[in-house]
Structure formats: C-alpha cells, structure tokens
Amino acid sequence: MSISKQALQRMPYYLQFLKNQKALGCTTISAPKIAAKFNFKEIQVRKDLASASTVNGKPKIGFQIETLIKDMENVLGYNDKKEAILVGVGSLGQALLGYKGFGYYGITIIGIFDNDPEKVGEVIRGKTVKSCDQISDFCRQHNVHLGVITVPEKQAQVVCDQLVAGNIGAIWNFAPIYLSVPENILVQNENMAASLALLSKHLKEKNM
C-alpha cells in the first residue's frame, strides 16, 4: 500500500512510542492507544498503521509491537544503509556531525567538506575536512547518494551544483535558500524561516 507524505512524517513519532511501549514490556498496541498519546484522531492512526503494517491488525487487540516496529523501520528506510557527505563544517555542520541520530536512521557520513582553506585538512570527529573542489569526484567514486548542505546561504547553490555533478540523488538542505536542481533530485529543506513563519502567525493570532 502506498503511504502519503504526511503519514510518512508521522511514522517516526509512532515508532518512538512503540519502542517505549516495548521497553515497558508491552507486546501489542492499538490505534486508539497511539491516538490518545499524540492527540490524533483514532481513524487517522488506524489508516497510518494499516498503511505501514505488513499484517492485518486483530480486532480488540491491535498489532504486535515487535512486527510493527520492524515494518515501520522498513517503511522509513532505517534498514537501508545510506552513505552521505556533509558540506560545511561551521557550527551547524559540526552540531550535526555530533548527532547520534544519523546511525540509527541508517546514515553514515563518509566525507566532510568545506570551502574555507583554513578548515581543509582539519580533523573533526575522526574525519578530515576536504576541499569542496573534490565533492563531485568523491561522490562518484564512493557512490554517495545523499548530500547534507550546511554552508552559508551564498555558497549553497554552488555546493548544490557540485553535488548534482557528483550524481547525488537527494539533498538535505539547511541553508536558508531555495536550491535549483534537476527534476529527479529531491531537495528536503530544513526550512527554519518557514517554521518561524508558522510560529509567528500563531503568536500573532494569540496577540502575543
């Protein structure tokens, strides 16, 4: 069954809860229980679970937590090993490098790059910073398909082009700018301005 974009984005929350429940010793879980936890509608969770689970739920019982966890991890791609590179080892880039989450999501950062000549050669968390010139060669050689961009706004498009030249498949963009890419490449923007827009609007509506 195909899973909607929105449903997919709710999965990590479900997964986290399932793991908690499993740790507490539970073996089964029902849609209404999950819905209560997150203040979602029961029917929404029911649909989401149905779309992720490989087996049918059992009326009155729900789903086996263990199987459901595996199914969700699969849907989310955590079991596919993905190699990535990170470009821009400023404060945000370094914060991300320290983020243990990557491994859990199946992502390994196998190369780090920066434009700043002073940073090239530096060793950060066991990895040597390479010059951005080498991005596309590196990507092709190591068959990297995911690129993380944490450079400043002005450099982002250039870096993006280098990744594209390296035959990258998807880009996770933290630079506050719109990136132009060929059609078949996905750019996922970690768009702080957009998030702030929603927060702002909320505060304004509450007259805060």
Partner DNA sequence: TAGATTGTTAATCGATTAACAATC
Contact footprint for DNA (CB under 7 A) = 4-7, 30-33, 40-44, 46-47, 49-50, 53, 56-63
Looking at beta carbons only, is 57 or 93 nearer to DNA?
57
Rounded Cα distance, 149 and 59, in Å: 46
Find the shortest distance in angstroms from Cβ 188 to a copy of itself: 5
Rounded Cα distance, 200 and 206, in Å: 10
Find the shortest distance in angstroms from Cβ 198 to a copy of itself: 6
Q: Is the Cβ–Cβ distance between 21 and 38 less than 8 Å?
A: no
Q: Which does 53 bind (CB under 5 to 8 A by kind): a copy of itself, DNA, none?
A: DNA
Helix (H, G, I), strand (E, B) or coil at 117: coil
Task: Please report, for residues 39, 80, 115, 174, the alpha-carbon distance to residue 152 in angstroms, rounded to integers and kept in the order given.
Answer: 38, 30, 10, 9
Long-range contacts of 196-205, Cβ-Cβ distance < 8 Å, separation of 24 or more? none
Find the shortest distance in angstroms from Cβ 149 to DNA: 24
Rounded Cα distance, 179 and 84, in Å: 18
Rounded Cα distance, 137 and 120, in Å: 16
Looking at beta carbons only, is 33 or 127 nearer to DNA?
33
Q: Which does 36 bind (CB under 5 to 8 A by kind): a copy of itself, DNA, none?
A: none
Residues at the contact surface with a copy of itself, assessed by CB under 8 A: 5, 8-13, 16-17, 37-39, 76-78, 80, 82, 90-92, 94-95, 98-99, 101, 105-107, 145-146, 169-170, 172, 176-178, 180, 184, 186, 188, 190-204, 206, 208
